[in-house]
Amino acid sequence: MGNFLPAAPAEREAQYAALGLSGPADLYRDVPEAVRLDGPLDLPAPKSELEVRRSMEALAGQNVRFSTILRGAGAYDHYIPAAVSRIAAKEEFVTAYTPYQAEISQGVLQSIFEFQTMICELTGLDAANASVYDGASAAAEAVAMCRDRKRTKAVVSGAAHPDVIATIQTYCFGSGMEVVLAPAREGRTDLTGLLDDGVACVYVQQPNFYGLLEDGAALADQAHAAGAKLIAGVNPATLGVLEAPGAWGADIAVGEGQPLGLPLSWGGPYLGFMAASQPLMRKLPGRIVGQTADAQGRRAFVLTMQAREQHIRREKASSNVCSNEALCALTASVYLSLMGPAGLMQVGEQCYAKAHYLADELCKLQGVKLRYPGPFFHEFVTDLPDPTDVLAGLEAKGILGGFPLKGGLLWCVTEKQTREELDRTVAIVKEVLGIWN
Write out the binding residues for another protein, residues 407-426 only, by CB under 8 A. Answer: 415, 418-420, 422
Give the torsion through C-alpha atoms of 260, 264, 269, 273, to 10 deg.
30
State the binding string over 158-177 for another protein (x if CB under 8 A, else -).
---xxxxxxx-xxx-xxxx-
Question: Residue 343: what residue type?
Answer: G
Does residue 242 belong to the site contacting another protein (CB under 8 A)? yes
Shortest distance, position 193 Cβ to another protein, whole Å: 25
Which parts of 166-225 interact with another protein (CB under 8 A)? 166-167, 169-171, 173-176, 213
Shortest distance, position 150 Cβ to another protein, whole Å: 18
Alpha carbon distance 283, 202 (integer Å): 17
Shortest distance, position 187 Cβ to another protein, whole Å: 15
**Closer to another protein by Cβ: residue 308 or 430:** 308
Shortest distance, position 116 Cβ to another protein, whole Å: 5
Which parts of 80-139 interact with another protein (CB under 8 A)? 81, 83, 85, 87, 89-108, 110-114, 116-118, 120-122, 126-128, 130-131, 133-137
In Å, how far are 78, 227, 268, 378 from 74, measured between CA atoms?
Answer: 12, 30, 11, 12
Using CB under 8 A, pick the residue from 190, 395, 397, 424 that binds another protein: 395
Q: What is the DSSP string of 345-376?
A: HHHHHHHHHHHHHHHHHHHTSTT-EESS-S-B
In Å, how far are 51, 128, 158, 175 from 132, measured between CA atoms?
Answer: 35, 11, 23, 18
Containing 12, the helix (H) or strand (E) segment is helix 9-18
Does residue 345 belong to the site contacting another protein (CB under 8 A)? yes
Which parts of 36-65 interact with another protein (CB under 8 A)? 36-37, 40-47, 49, 51-53, 55-65
Is residue 281 within 8 A of residue 161, CB to CB? The reply is no
Stretch that binds another protein, among 148-156, 329-337, 362-370, 426-434 (CB under 8 A): 329-337
Closest CA to 243 of 203, 207, 281, 284: 207
Does residue 325 belong to the site contacting another protein (CB under 8 A)? yes
State the binding string over 354-383 for another protein (x if CB under 8 A, else -).
x-xx-----------------x--------
Does residue 75 belong to the site contacting another protein (CB under 8 A)? yes
**Closer to another protein by Cβ: residue 31 or 427:** 31
Does residue 427 belong to the site contacting another protein (CB under 8 A)? no
Does residue 311 belong to the site contacting another protein (CB under 8 A)? yes
Is residue 154 within 8 A of residue 203, CB to CB? The reply is yes
Nearby residues of 395 by Cβ (< 8 Å), 6 or more positions away = 64, 66, 401
Nearby residues of 54 by Cβ (< 8 Å), 6 or more positions away = none
For the chain, the first-to-last Cα distance in angstroms comes to 63
Does residue 273 belong to the site contacting another protein (CB under 8 A)? no
Q: φ and ψ at 339, to 5 degrees?
A: -70, -40
Which parts of 6-25 interact with another protein (CB under 8 A)? 6-7, 11-12, 14-16, 18-19, 21, 24
